[in-house]
Chain A
Amino acid sequence: MTPGHDEAAFTELYKAHYGAVRSYASACVPNSEVDDIVADTFVVAWRRFADMPDDWARGWLIGVARNVVRGRRRTSRRATNFVEQLINLRPADASGLEGDDVPLEDLEVLKRAFGTLKDSDQEILILAGPYDMSTQEIAVALGIKANAVGVRLHRARGRLRSASEAQVQDGGEAA
């Protein structure tokens, strides 16, 4: 054990956030790679336990996981469409959506529109949307200031709306 590290405290942190890291990894990489992303994330977390902000541990861990995913993506040359992953991950007997049924065509439009966005837009939209992370938590995860999160999120949402409109328009013209 590295001096200064507290296994008991780290185990508590691990129990609290293992699920979150696994959930995030599941949206970023194929199932076959999730275990490795989770493991590598907590290896870094253990080494840098002393640097972890107590109040924003989950955001910090998601930031580490994000870097691990980026490192792996660099080697696999695979881009991630988060929404496609999320929709594909839904259980066979459920829509994957909370609330009322949503027309499949709307989901398809969303998926296509999302796929046109750059990674940084997809990332912040996913963290603020399905993952429902707070502005401060996202700021910790992305390593930027909370104000910048607000600005980026506003712009990303605008681009998603524009992209969705374009997809609808393209679909209408094609029909």
Chain B
Amino acid sequence: MSADPIALLDRLSPPPGWSERTDLDADPVAAQILDQVFAGDRNVISLDDARRRRRGIGGAIVVAALVAGGAVAAIWNRTPSETARVSCWSEAVADPPEVLGLPWDGQSDPATMCADEWSSGAFRGSPPPDELEMCVTENNIVAVIPGAPGACGELGLDEFSPSPDVSDPSVIELQRRLDRAFNNETCQPPDRVMEETRTVLDEVGLNGWSIIAGAESADEPCATVLLVPEKAEVIVLFVARQP
């Protein structure tokens, strides 16, 4: 290498826009984002939502599996419909003064995520509360609120319990078999996933179950599956290749 790496690095150009002023009339995306910010609805990651709708699959399912890397995703006890996001509330009141929306993989512990935000001073530097409770809001979003056990009920919210609710031995066996089949590789070919899932469903006797496939794309060539026992469905999702 003939060039000094520092000098070479300094000559790299940042992506466009670094020093540019934005004309909102000429940039509809920028204008839309600003509208969302002022409207206060950016707690919902709306652009992600739009992508999920294009896939034609419920949001909770897709996002929960995105980081599964081939593993069979867990089913939450009280399944929120919106698992793209966890809301961290600044106070345990019905209309908290500050709500922080965090992207969520559907598997990480929401309370830990919000505790990290408290620790990093996200709520105007306020110290973390002694206890956090996980609730599910009326809009089916996981909300982590300061408070002791029972705090959710005091606000009229359901408690959120991140434990699997799979009591049918056949479903447990299905999950175990699919986990074993797909959990060792980060990128599963869709054809293999579909075929293996059909085989396992037959073998465990879940003949009434459906296999529903999302839309494959060049950017998302890997398949993973998610079980939805209450609907007797196995969802095959197409996700980006994990590094």
Contacts and interface: CB of A to CB of B under 8 A. Distances in A.
B3 interface: yes
B124 interface: yes
B13 A90 contact: yes
B47 interface: yes
Given A20-B19, A160-B6, A71 B11 contact: no
Interface stretch (B28-36, B156-164, B167-175, B192-200): B28-36
B21 A19 contact: yes
Nearest to A171: B1
B13 A19 contact: no
B243 interface: yes
A140 to B, nearest CB: 14
B16 A43 contact: no
Given A18-B30, A110-B5, A96 B12 contact: yes
A23 B11 contact: no
Given A15-B24, A42-B33, 16 more contacts: A11-B34, A16-B21, A18-B30, A19-B20, A26-B16, A27-B14, A30-B240, A32-B219, A36-B103, A39-B42, A39-B46, A40-B103, A43-B43, A76-B105, A96-B13, A167-B1
B207 interface: no
A23 B120 contact: no
B48 interface: yes
A129 B105 contact: no
Interface of A: 1, 7, 11, 14-16, 18-20, 22-24, 26-27, 30, 32, 35-36, 38-40, 42-44, 46-48, 51, 67, 71-72, 74-79, 83, 86-87, 89-90, 96-99, 102-103, 105-107, 109-110, 113-114, 125-126, 129-132, 157, 160-161, 164-165, 167-168
B95 interface: no
28 contacts: A15-B21, A18-B34, A19-B20, A19-B21, A20-B19, A23-B16, A24-B14, A27-B14, A39-B42, A39-B45, A39-B46, A40-B101, A42-B37, A43-B36, A44-B100, A51-B124, A77-B69, A77-B242, A78-B242, A87-B12, A107-B8, A110-B1, A110-B9, A129-B12, A130-B9, A130-B10, A160-B9, A161-B5
Contacts of A23: 14-18
Interface residues of B, number: 57
B108 interface: yes
B201 interface: no
A27 B17 CA distance: 12
B89 interface: no
A138 to B, nearest CB: 14
Contacts of B132: none
B225 interface: no
Given A110-B5, A110-B8, A86 B14 contact: yes
B126 to A, nearest CB: 12
Nearest to A18: B22
Contacts of B240: 30
A117 B12 CA distance: 18
Contact of A76 (B18, B36, B67): B67
B12 A83 contact: yes
Contacts of B102: 71
Interface in B113-131: 113, 120, 122, 124
Given A27-B14, A38-B33, A129-B6, A109 B21 contact: no
B203 interface: no
Interface in B198-243: 219, 240, 242-243
Contact of B14 (A44, A99, A130): A130
B152 interface: no
A98 B11 contact: yes
A85 B75 CA distance: 35
Residue of B27, B36, B37, B42 ringed by the most chain A CB atoms within 10 A:
B37
Contacts of B98: 47
A75 B108 contact: yes
